[in-house]
Chain A
């Protein structure tokens, strides 16, 4: 799905420095982009604008050629089915099995009765088979019946990716999906996300890890809610990185500078 942001500004509170300012971006269907920038640069705000969890103060956001501002609740839900969101922590439902959590990924297009049946009896038939396959793809099928809150962080993140595989989204919004995950799980998570992208999904991957960022086709660097750099992976020089991540002594609130993960993996 293609994304077009046109001159988008979003403030969380009036009078505050905007979280995203005069931001424009166009991504084509199937493109793989990584988004870097220090904490507070606007990465998460950008993602929340794309799911219309936030509405911009000005400017427009279009996903798959549809302007999000004009969508009713039903159309919004239909669109969201095609957006796969994954955060630093998997956002899975605790007290529920891995298998059920994965099966929920397929629920978007189905009715309330299916949802209620799933909540009472767990997945069955075709849905269960697909959920097992998705878990198998992230090498965790043996833990299908374990409760999510009993899994490790890395295992949970793989379950979350399995839920994405179940969902088959056309746009993946991955917000630091490997930030608190063991290396092996991180590798599995990234591979799965990139495979989904290769199969046609657009991927937007926020990360502080430049080695991961460089695996994508295009890199966006955010600084103070503005697009500081946008270009092919090869064009990202050390200068740009330093400029984006440097704690500035200038005006406004100083961004929280995070140490960079050069060659972390």
Chain B
């Protein structure tokens, strides 16, 4: 026995010989033989053709005269972005509104996601490490499943649909956009955060739990400190996504730069569309750069 050994490796749980730790998949699906590969390839081909027909793909329409003239019209204006100072000012304030929507959306998302992720992390459930019989443990996982369900619901409905719902509630404008993005972001952050909380080293968590500390205390003192960096990093990433989403929800009238894009296309002012798309590009790149910087600083 070496007494000075200071290894940090953890002993792996005993596994059955061919167990790679993942849930076993159906064996017959493994493409091992030539014949099987052929079957797979033809199935794939059928799927692709079927999908393209469903999507109404017709190269003729895209190359046809009408499409060509209208695209030409669009492009000839598009390469001359509207750069007058007064218009740039308009674009600037729309872009700022989009950023404000994205940040408000992040705050709403965090307010929704933070409490839900505590319930949606299985290691923080009152059923975890309770030493109870199976069915009692299952019962205690009730809130966990409920939180997962709520998060799935929030996430499954796209921002655009949320925006349409909130426009009927609070009217056209940026508030509807912020609410829509916030709700969706809450669903995403709740799920992603919960997964980060579940991914921490369980030994310190069990140790603190055994000290008799309550569940919120265990979360605050043993789980969150281990996951803190990743939680912040995911928050930044979500903000980045929010900026993109905030331009989209504008198309249905939920404020910001997207609303201007919609307007310019409807009025056939393609040089304005061009300016707006450039502004969106600048914004998205800036958000991407900023969030990358923050995440890098955390490492």
Binding site for B on A (CB under 8 A): 51-55, 73, 76-78, 80-81, 83, 85, 87, 89, 91-96, 100, 104-105, 107-109, 111-112, 115-116, 118-120, 152-154, 163, 167, 178-183, 186, 208-209, 258-259, 261, 264-265
Contact = CB atoms under 8 A, between A and B. Distances in A.
Interface in B111-140: 126, 129-133
A264 B5 CA distance: 14
27 contacts: A53-B129, A55-B131, A55-B132, A55-B133, A73-B130, A77-B212, A80-B210, A87-B203, A87-B207, A94-B204, A94-B226, A95-B226, A95-B228, A96-B221, A100-B221, A107-B211, A107-B212, A108-B213, A111-B214, A115-B216, A119-B224, A153-B5, A153-B6, A153-B8, A154-B6, A181-B3, A208-B1
Contacts of B214: 77, 111-112, 115
A264 B222 contact: no
Contact of A83 (B210, B222, B225): B210
A119 B220 contact: yes
A183 B1 contact: no
Contacts of A104: 208, 211, 213, 221-222
Contact of A112 (B203, B204, B211, B217): B217
A95 B214 CA distance: 20
B131 to A, nearest CB: 4
A interface majority secondary structure: loop
Given A93-B226, A108-B212, 18 more contacts: A52-B131, A54-B131, A55-B132, A80-B210, A81-B212, A87-B203, A87-B207, A104-B211, A107-B211, A107-B213, A119-B220, A119-B221, A119-B224, A179-B1, A181-B6, A182-B3, A258-B1, A264-B3
A263 to B, nearest CB: 11
Given A53-B131, A73-B126, A91 B204 contact: yes
A167 B212 CA distance: 10
A53 B210 contact: yes
A116 B5 CA distance: 36
B206 interface: yes
A183 B224 contact: no
Contacts of A85: 207, 210
Given A53-B206, A118-B221, A180 B6 contact: yes
B201 interface: yes
A211 to B, nearest CB: 11
Contacts of B225: 93-96, 119
B7 interface: yes
A181 B1 CA distance: 11
Contacts, number: 115
A93 B206 CA distance: 10
Contacts of A91: 203-204, 206-207
B4 interface: yes
Contacts of A53: 129, 131, 206, 210
Contacts of A181: 3, 6
A93 B208 contact: yes
A259 B3 CA distance: 13
B204 A93 contact: yes
Given A81-B212, A105-B211, A152 B6 contact: yes
A180 B1 CA distance: 9
A118 B7 CA distance: 30
Contacts of B208: 93, 104
A78 B212 contact: yes
A96 to B, nearest CB: 5
A108 B225 CA distance: 19
Interface in B1-21: 1, 3-8
B139 to A, nearest CB: 12
B5 A180 contact: yes
Given A104-B211, A259-B1, A261-B1, A180 B7 contact: yes
Contact of B212 (A80, A152, A183): A80
B296 to A, nearest CB: 18
A261 B1 CA distance: 6
A260 to B, nearest CB: 8
Interface string B175-204: 000000000000000000000000001011
A258 B216 CA distance: 41
Contacts of B201: 94
A54 B130 CA distance: 8
B213 A115 contact: yes
Contacts of A83: 210
